[in-house]
């Protein structure tokens, strides 16, 4: 496992924004992750894990400590009966590849993930999903490596789940792999489901560089609707811009920097609060020292 110094992170995010990692490592095995977690505890080194980088904004010029990319951890296998099949996959597997495998095995349950970028680990941390469905629906267990290096298996009910929330996202554990339970289904039905969810993506700026939805939807209205009503669409600072297609996406139209993105996020949140009294909560994760 090679540790690299002053490693550029922008290409590791879908938004294409990020400074340098003081140290960067891409583990390839469980043993590597255990080593990282032992080092973290022993040295008191700050650690940031990054999967597909599709739900985070990296702040500042240098991110101190160690950045751990899970992209080399993408093994997949499956087992089970004719009624239920368990797919076991490592955290760095792209969600798209997992869905592709489920489709080719004629297994249903994950079609809602059609078009959600990123890895399985990131999806577990944010309980990725769409209205009515989320990753927690198909999870059976998750294995994590704790600071200090202990491997632990958590059952689905040992984990706190909510709308775009899981307790896994609030801990210092590194997700190693998980087991998902899917059900056999007719290929035509699976294909129709995928097409249904893919069509829903038309409202999103999925060909632009973004970090997904900036804010969570509050109780009564969608964040996108509120932001649009408050005139946020098209707001721009430097090369960061609120998408004209969907107001809950900030896109990088050139060489956006994190300061400009953060400025836009604050402006959007203030506008919505002043006009509606609703304080929007961040869905995207800010990585770095900034307190929001
Ligand atoms: C165009 C677009 C559309 C999107 N649509 C949706 C959507 O419909 N629904 C939805 O829910 N999301 C959506 N997203 C957001 C994003 O794709 C998901 O949240 C995705 O699951 C994040 O996965 P990731 O691997 O990119 O995570 P990252 O952005 O890399 O990381 C997110 C968080 O997870 C943590 N993390 C990642 N892997 C691990 C690990 N192995 N161990 C510990 N912590 C880890 C990171 O530290 C970070 O805190 C969209 C994003 C884009 C760009």
- Which pTM was predicted? 0.94
In this predicted structure, which of 13-17, 134-138, 218-222 has the lowest mean pLDDT? 218-222
Strands 85-90 and 76-80: antiparallel
Nearest atom (ligand 1) to Cα of 164: 11
Overall average pLDDT of the 225-250 stretch: 96
Are the C-beta atoms of 166 and 159 separated by less than 8 Å?
A: yes
Task: Assess whether the C-beta atom of 252 lies below 6 angstroms from ligand 1.
Answer: no
* Structure confidence at residue 81 (pLDDT): 62
Q: Whose CA is nearest to atom 22 of ligand 1?
A: 122
15 CA to middle of ligand 1, Å? 12
Q: How far is the CA of 117 from the centre of ligand 1 (A)?
A: 7
Higher pLDDT, 97 or 290: 97
Q: Which protein residue's CA is at the shortest distance from atom 47 of ligand 1? A: 49
CA 122 / ligand 1 centre spacing (Å)? 4
pLDDT band at 84 (very low <50, low <70, confident <90, very high): confident
The pLDDT of 172-188, averaged and rounded, is 95
Instruction: For residue 56, report the distance from its CA to the centre of ligand 1, in Å.
Output: 7
What is the tens place of the pLDDT at every residue in 220-236? 889 999 999 999 999 99
The average pLDDT across 98-110 equals 94
Binding site membership of 129 for ligand 1 (Cβ less than 6 Å): yes
For position 41, what pLDDT does the model report? 84
27 lines ligand 1 (CB under 6 A): no
> Listing from the earlier edge strand, what are the strands of the sheet with 47-50?
4-8, 20-25, 62-69, 47-50
151, 161 Cβ separation under 8 angstroms = no
Measuring from atom 36 of ligand 1, which residue has the nearest CA?
A: 122
- What are the structure tokens assigned to 210, written together? 């973004």
Mean pLDDT of 257-274: 96
**Across the chain, what does the average pLDDT equal?**
94
Give the per-residue pLDDT at 291: 55
State residue 202's pLDDT score. 84
The answer to whether 222 and 163 have CB atoms below 8 angstroms apart is: no
pLDDT over 60 (residue 3)? yes
**Would the CB of 134 count as within 6 Å of ligand 1?**
no
* pLDDT above 80 (res 82): no
| pLDDT higher than 80, residue 80 | no
Least confident of 67-71, 199-203, 277-281, 286-290: 286-290
Residue 133 Cβ inside 6 Å of ligand 1? The answer reads no
CA torsion 181→117→249→26, rounded to 10°? 110
Instruction: Give the domains, in start order, of the chain with CATH numbers.
Output: 4-69 (3.30.43.10), 76-203 (3.30.465.10), 223-287 (3.90.78.10)
Name the pLDDT band for 204 (thresholds 50, 70, 90).
confident
Say what the pLDDT of residue 45 is. Answer: 87
């Amino acid at each position: 496992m090679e540790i690299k110094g002053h490693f550029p992170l922008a290409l590791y995010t879908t938004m294409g924004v990020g400074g340098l990692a003081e140290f960067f490592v891409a583990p390839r095995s469980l043993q590597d992750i255990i080593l990282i977690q032992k080092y973290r505890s022993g040295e008191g080194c700050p650690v940031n894990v990054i999967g597909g980088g599709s739900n985070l904004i990296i702040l500042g010029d240098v991110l101190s400590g160690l950045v751990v990319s899970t992209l080399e951890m993408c093994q997949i296998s499956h087992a089970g009966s004719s009624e239920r099949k368990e797919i076991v996959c490592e955290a760095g597997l792209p969600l798209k590849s997992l869905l592709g495998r489920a489709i080719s095995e004629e297994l249903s349950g994950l079609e809602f993930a059609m078009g959600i970028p990123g890895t399985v680990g990131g999806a577990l941390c944010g309980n990725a999903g769409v209205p009515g469905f989320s990753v927690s629906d198909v999870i059976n267990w998750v294995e994590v490596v704790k600071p200090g290096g202990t491997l632990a298996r958590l059952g689905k009910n040992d984990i706190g789940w909510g709308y775009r929330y899981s307790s896994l996202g609030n801990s210092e554990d590194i997700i190693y792999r998980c087991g998902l339970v899917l059900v056999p289904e007719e290929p035509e039905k699976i294909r129709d489901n995928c097409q249904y969810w893919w069509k829903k993506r038309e409202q999103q700026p999925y060909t632009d560089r973004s970090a997904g939805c900036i804010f969570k939807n509050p109780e009564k209205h969608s964040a996108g609707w509120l932001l649009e009503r408050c005139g946020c669409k098209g707001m721009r600072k430097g090369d960061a811009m609120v998408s004209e297609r969907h107001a809950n996406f900030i896109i990088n139209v050139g060489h956006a920097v994190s300061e400009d993105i953060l400025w836009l996020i604050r402006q959007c949140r203030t506008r919505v609060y002043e006009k509606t009294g609703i304080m929007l909560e961040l869905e995207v994760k800010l990585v770095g020292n900034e307190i929001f």
